[in-house]
Amino acid sequence: MPLLELLILGVVIAANNMAVALALGALNQYTRRWRIIVTFGLFEFSVPLVGITIGRTAAYWIDQEVAWVGVLLLALLGGWTLATSIQQTDPEDTMASRITTWTGLVLLAAGLSLDNLLIGFGLGLGTVDALTVAATICLFSVVFTWIGLYVGHAVDATFRHYLTAASGILLIILAALKAMHWI
């Protein structure tokens, strides 16, 4: 796989993680950044390896049956994030804290990584180096997750409401683009 294609793949896949990390950072979950980064990184590394190892034998079935799970999770998280930005009360200590528990993060990372499984399936037919692909995806995802968490957290409390709303809208747009197979 040419270097440029590998870098583009890393950036495109990591954009999902950055959108979610922006929302989590805006919801004041920066203190759990290492938990979030490690969980996302582990999934972003291991899921493409699984996909590449299994190959393309079941790609059609998964594309038809499972692709909507990731889209639904992104849309629900986006809708929830947007709804919390509209509320008068500060919901940071309730739902956002539940999402960033180990169980919540594993479920979230699994939903975000479903497309990586399909990418791994597609790449499994060619002669790609599986570890290089998985490491590139992981590296971009970890860096983008950290940037999203940092930016979301660093925004002044006055603007946090707007960033939370923008993150929710971005997640909904991302889910819509995935549903239309544009990304």
Write the pLDDT tens digit of every residue in 23-68: 888 888 888 999 999 999 999 999 988 888 876 566 566 566 655 6
Q: Which of 16, 38, 19, 35 is nearest to 151 (CA)?
A: 19
The domains of the chain are located at 3-179
Nearest to 84 by CA among 39, 35, 31, 29: 29
Identify the H or E element spanning 161.
Answer: helix 157-179
pLDDT by residue for the chain (183 residues), tens only, comes to 778 888 888 887 888 788 888 888 888 888 899 999 999 999 999 998 888 887 656 656 656 665 566 667 667 767 776 776 676 555 555 667 778 888 888 888 888 887 777 677 667 656 678 888 889 999 999 999 999 899 888 876 667 677 667 767 776 777 777 778 776
Specify whether the CB–CB gap between 51 and 120 falls below 8 A. yes
pLDDT at 142: 95
| CA dihedral sign, ordered 36, 42, 43, 44 | positive
Q: What confidence score (pLDDT) does residue 41 get? A: 94
Q: What angle do CA 108, 109, 115 make, to 5 degrees?
A: 110
Output the pLDDT for position 22. 84
pTM, whole model, 2 decimals?
Answer: 0.68
For tokens 């990731």, the residue is 70
Spatial separation of the C-alpha atoms in residues 138 and 143, rounded to whole Å: 9
What's the pLDDT score for residue 42? Answer: 95
Q: What is the pLDDT of residue 56?
A: 56
Number of Cβ within a 10 Å radius of residue 104: 16
Per-residue burial over 135-147, b if 16 or more Cβ lie within 10 Å, else e, is: bbbbebbbbbbbb
pLDDT of residue 125: 53
